[in-house]
Amino acid sequence: MKARSGRREAIMDEADKELLRDGRTVVVFGSMNMDLSVACDRMPLAGETIHGSDFVTGAGGKGANQAVAAARMGAKVHMIAAVGADTFGDQLVAGLEHDGIGTGQVRRLADVPTGVAVIVRTGGDNRIVLAAGANTALDGREVIGSIDALFDQGDARIGSIFLAQGECDLKATAQAIEHAHRRGMFTIFNPAPACNLPPQTWREVDLVCLNETECESVVGIVPTDEDDCRRALEALCRLTEGAALVTLGAGGSALLFEDEYVHLPARTVDVVDTTAAGDTYLGALAAMRSQGFPLLDSAGEATCASALAVSRLGAQASIPTAEEVMAWLIEQWENDR
């Protein structure tokens, strides 16, 4: 990747595209949780117990979800994470390996449990409570060591994608982003749950991708209309000197790169479960970028993958493959003829 100064280019030039045509790895540093999910007609009031239904357990965590989405969209993926030395940890690691994700940098810790997410689903929406467990156990030195190990093994290289979120130790995340970018990786940060980075770390982020709530938390602007979207994205780009993208739920997504503003409408689907919507979007976006596609094309593919995910129940169980996305698009096209 070429050296950058001032405002960095978010879209790759021809040399960058040539470098990536054989595909580069997506390295995800993030959380791995066991999701415990239940449906109900409405949210309970304080002190109230209500009946639920459709209880499911499944693999989750923003980091793991995004890794699975990237792998199913055709990327070579490696996970950097920590789980407990327990049954949930065993199941989560096995699930990643089933999707072909490298787990050599997933640490098994005996003194902390695997992270857990308790999810209450109602009316196509969800509320989530996290118990971080092992997700916050790794420090920056350990994550940097994992990045370097992947480079030493040839599993990561210049032009690879580094993807991180906000569910792990934030100081470790910041140090990892800085290190990955300085090693020539294209860095994507998803500040979810809403969080912030030191100013020097923001300047090592090539693309920040976040939803409306997180956008308000980071830059103080709610992207309720096009003008506010533009202002929010401009503020985010001032932080990163790179590109910014905000997902808008049923409103689609909007992005700003090289001073160009683009709005992408959402795909219309029957919403079943929004749990993995954002994670599917991020993972699909990272996968397309790792294969050399421009940011706008990558966002379009991510929009389709995310739409298909919300039409299904579960976190990782809902994430589609590239083949499923293509088949769904063909079906949509034929229905619209």
Q: Residue 157 maps to which CATH number?
A: 3.40.1190.20
Q: For residues 141 and 114, what is the distance between their CA atoms, to the nearest angstrom? A: 21
From the candidates 99, 206, 273, 279, which is the catalytic residue?
Answer: 279
Q: How sure is the predictor about 105, in pLDDT bands with cuts at 50, 70 and 90?
A: very high
| pLDDT score of 3 more than 60 | no
| Average pLDDT, integer, range 230-254 | 95
| Average pLDDT, integer, range 200-218 | 97
Q: How does pLDDT run across 265-305, given as a tens digit for each residue?
A: 988 888 888 878 999 999 999 999 999 999 999 999 999 99
In a domain, 75, yes or no: yes
Per DSSP, the three-state class of 169 is: coil
Q: For residue 10, what pLDDT is reported?
A: 37
Q: For residues 247 and 214, what is the distance between their CA atoms, to the nearest angstrom? A: 10
Rounded to whole angstroms, the maximal C-alpha distance in the chain is 60
139 is catalytic: no
Cis-peptide, bond into residue 193, ω within 30° of zero: yes
The mean pLDDT of the chain is 90
In a domain, 322, yes or no: yes
Whole-prediction pTM value? 0.88
In a domain, 51, yes or no: no
Q: For residue 23, what pLDDT is reported?
A: 64
Q: For residues 295 and 185, what is the distance between their CA atoms, to the nearest angstrom? A: 15
Q: For residue 22, what pLDDT is reported?
A: 55
In a domain, 310, yes or no: yes
The domain containing residue 28 runs over which residues?
Answer: 14-32+61-114+133-336
In a domain, 4, yes or no: no
Sign of CA dihedral 304, 310, 312, 318: positive
In a domain, 297, yes or no: yes
In a domain, 294, yes or no: yes
| pLDDT score of 217 more than 90 | yes
Q: How sure is the predictor about 263, in pLDDT bands with cuts at 50, 70 and 90?
A: very high
| Average pLDDT, integer, range 189-217 | 96
Q: How sure is the predictor about 336, in pLDDT bands with cuts at 50, 70 and 90?
A: confident
In a domain, 168, yes or no: yes
The count of domains in the chain is 1
Q: How does pLDDT run across 119-154, given as a tens digit for each residue?
A: 898 887 788 888 999 999 999 999 999 999 999 999
